[in-house]
Structure 1
Amino acid sequence: METPDGWELVPAGTPTDGARWVIVDSMEDLSDAARRHGISDRAITLLEHRIPGVHPPAPGHAQRARVDRSPDGELILTTPTLSYVESTHDVHTGALTTVIGTDVVLMAEAGDAQVLDRAVTKLTGGFPVPDEGVHQVLAVVVLTLVAEASDVEIGLGDAVADAEQLVFSTAHQRSPLQEIYDLKREIAEARRALSPVTSVLPELMAEAEEGPGRRLSQPWLRRAEAWVDRVDKHLDGYDDLLSDMLSVHLSQVSVRQNEDVRKISSWAAIAAAPTLVASIYGMNFEHMPELDWTYGYPLAIAAMGAVCVTLYRLFRRSGWL
C-alpha cells in the first residue's frame, strides 16, 4: 500500500528497504518491531521506559504524554487518545506511541479511538500532507488525533445541550443531577487527556525549530496547538455551563419547595379557622351563646364556610395558592 512521497505502509514483521511506516498491533510488540527495523538500542531503551503500561497511570487518569529524542536522533512520542460513545456519553482514553527514525516510522495504539486507522485512510486516500519526510506521517497522525479530540468535544457539547433542555423543561421528568455530574466527570476526563497533548505540542514545535529543514512542520504544529487550545476552552466552557445548570436546578428545587411550603401553610390556615370554631362549640358548657337557637348550627356552618372562602381568595390573590 503506497502513501505519499513513496512511503510504504508495511506489516510490523515485514523487512523492506526504503521509507517505511510500520503499524504494530500491540504496545508490547513495539520494542521488538523497533529492533527489526533498525532503531538504535538507546532509543529502544527510552521506548521501553515510556511504553504505556510500564508506568501505569492512576485509576481515572489519562496516559502521560512525553517527547524524547535519543542520542542517535530518533524521536519517541507518547500521547493519550480520546474517543466518545454517543449512546452513553462516555469518554474513553487510550494511548498512542510513535517512534520516528531516519527512514522508518513505527506506531502502536491502545484504546478504541482508532486514530491510526483514520490516519491510514487519509494517507492512502490522496489527502494533502502538510509535511515531508518521516514527519509527514507524524503530521497526519497528530492532526487526526486532535480531530478526534474535537469530535469528542462536539459530542460532549451536544450532551450538555440535552442536559440544559432537561433542566429547563416544564414537563415532570427525572432529576438531571445524575446526568450533570456524569457529564462533568466525562469532561474532566477529556481535559485530563487533552492537557498532555497541549504540553507536547510546544515541545514538538521547539524540536521543529531547532531541526534543519523543518520549516514545513511549524505551520501544522501551530495549527494543531491552536486547535487543541480551542477544544480545551470549549470543554472549560461546557464545564462552567454545567456548574451554572447545577446552581439553577438547585434554585428551582428550592423555589418549588418554598411554593409547596406556602401551599401547605395556606391550606393549614384555611383548615384552622373552622377547626377553631368547632373546637369552641365542642366544649361541654351549658351557658354558651346560640346553643338554643333553631338556626344556630347552620349559621355556624355557614360562618365557617364563609371564613374558609375568604381565606382561600386572599391566598389566591397573594399567589400562595
Structure 2
Amino acid sequence: MSPGSPLPSFRRNSRGRIPWIPVPAARAIVDCAVYVDGKRMPGHFTHAAALAEVRKRGDGFVWVGLHEPDEHQMADIAETFGLHPLAAEDAVRAQQRPKLEQYDETLVMVMRTVAHLEHDMHSVSEIVQTGEILVFVAAEFVVAVRHGEHSGLAGVRRELEGDQERLRRGPGAVLHAIADYVVDSYIEVAASVEQDVEAMEEEIFTPGSKVAVEPIYQLKREIGELKRAVYPLSAPLQLLVRPDMPLSKEIRRYLRDVADHHTAVTERIADFDESLRALIDAALAKHAVQQNTDMRKISALAAMFAVPTMIAGIYGMNFEHMPELKQAWGYPAALSAMALLCAALFVVFRRSKWL
C-alpha cells in the first residue's frame, strides 16, 4: 500500500477481519440508456459512456436507474454526473422525507412510495409497505435511485419509450412521469385501504358480530404511516410548478395536474383517518354494551343461586329446635321452595331481558 492511500474497510466474519471489496456501480444499475429526439439509442452503455455520448452529441439525455446502491457505488455515480455529496448521501440512506432541493442546475426530489399488502382483517399484520425514490434531474441526465422492492420504474420507462413526443421534452418529462407514477400508486393504495375500512365498518355494525379492537388500531397505525409518506410530497410538488424552476412551461402544467391528484388523495386519506376514529368509538361502545349484557347475566345467575344457598345455609346450622327439621315432608318442602323461587326469579329476569 502506497503512503497516503486510504485504508481499506474491514468486515468481521467467523475467522476474523477481512478486507471488504467494493462492488462496482454497474451492479446497482437496473437500466442505463441514452435518449435523443425522443428515441432510445441502440446498444448498451455504462453510465460514464452514456454521459460522454450525450456530451459528444450535444443533444439528448441519459436516464440511469439504480436500486439500493451502497455508498461506494453512489460515490462513483456522483463523481460521474457531478452530484452534490449531500444529495448522494441522501440517495444511500433511505427513510428520507419527501422534499425538493436544488444544487446549482440539478434538481433533487425525494418521493416516498407505498404498496398495499395482502392481509387478514382479523389479525394484526402489516398493511402498507413504504419505499423511496430519489430523482436527480439536470439538462443532460436523470438519475433515479429507488429503495424497496415494490417501487420499480420499468413500466414508467416502457411507457415513455412508447411516447416519443413526451420524451422529446427532455429530463423534465421523466421527472413528471415518475411523480405521476408515485401519485397514481397513492391512489391505488388509497382505494385498497378504503375497501379495508368499509369491510371493518360492515363487520362492526353487523348485529351480533364480535370485533377485536386490535385490528382497528393496526389499520389506523398503517394509515398513519401512509399519511407520513403521502402528505409531505405536497410541498415539493407545489415548488415544482413555480415559474423559477428550471422546467418548461408544458412540464409545469403536467406537474400541476399531478399536484391536484395528490391533493385529492390526501383528502381521501384524511377521511379514512376520521372514519377509523369513529370505528374505534363504535367498537369500544359495542364492547361496553356486550360487557353490560354479560354482567347482567352474571348478576341474574348469582341471584338465582343465592336463594337455594340461603335456604340450605339456614337449615344447615344444626340447631336442635328448628321448625320442620324433624318432619318427614321438611326436606322435600325445602327443595320445592328452592325450585319455585329459582323459577320465579328466572321468569322475572327473562322478562327483563337479563337472561
Per-residue deviation, 1:94: 2.0
User: Please, which moves more after superposition, 275-284 or 5-14?
Assistant: 5-14
Q: How many matched pairs?
A: 306
SS of the residue 1:315 aligns to: helix
Per-residue deviation, 1:34: 5.3
| 1:171-320 → structure 2 map (5 Å cutoff) | 176-206=212-242, 209-211=243-245, 214-320=248-354
Of 91, 94, 101, 1:51 maps to 91
Please list every run of 5 or more consecutive structure 2 residues that lacks an aligned counterpart in the other structure: 1-32, 120-124
Q: CA RMSD in A?
A: 3.0
* Pair 1:25 & 2:66 matched: yes
Report the Cα distance in structure 2 between the residues aligned to 1:247 and 1:4, rounded to whole angstroms.
Answer: 59
* Structure 1 length-normalised TM: 0.82
Which residue of the partner structure matches residue 85 of structure 1?
Answer: 117
* Structure 2 length-normalised TM: 0.75
Report the Cα distance in structure 1 between the residues aligned to 2:342 and 2:164, rounded to whole angstroms.
Answer: 80
Report the Cα distance in structure 1 between the residues aligned to 2:35 and 2:141, rounded to whole angstroms.
Answer: 13
Of 94, 99, 103, 1:66 maps to 99
SS of the residue 1:63 aligns to: coil
- AA aligned to 1:82 is V
Report the Cα distance in structure 1 between the residues aligned to 2:348 and 2:323, rounded to whole angstroms.
Answer: 29
Q: Percent identity?
A: 28
- AA aligned to 2:294 is D
Report the Cα distance in structure 1 between the residues aligned to 2:177 and 2:92, rounded to whole angstroms.
Answer: 22
Contact 2:297–2:354 (Cα < 8 Å) also in 1: yes
With over 3 angstroms needed to count, the CA separation of the structure-2 counterparts of 1:130 and 1:257, relative to structure 1, is: farther
Report the Cα distance in structure 2 between the residues aligned to 1:163 and 1:131, rounded to whole angstroms.
Answer: 47
Please list every run of 5 or more consecutive structure 1 residues that lacks an aligned counterpart in the other structure: 57-61
Contact 1:8–1:20 (Cα < 8 Å) also in 2: no
* Pair 1:141 & 2:181 matched: no
Per-residue deviation, 1:132: 2.7
Report the Cα distance in structure 2 between the residues aligned to 1:213 and 1:141, rounded to whole angstroms.
Answer: 15
Which residue of the partner structure matches residue 40 of structure 2?
Answer: 8
Report the Cα distance in structure 1 between the residues aligned to 2:294 and 2:247, rounded to whole angstroms.
Answer: 73
Report the Cα distance in structure 2 between the residues aligned to 1:165 and 1:82, rounded to whole angstroms.
Answer: 26
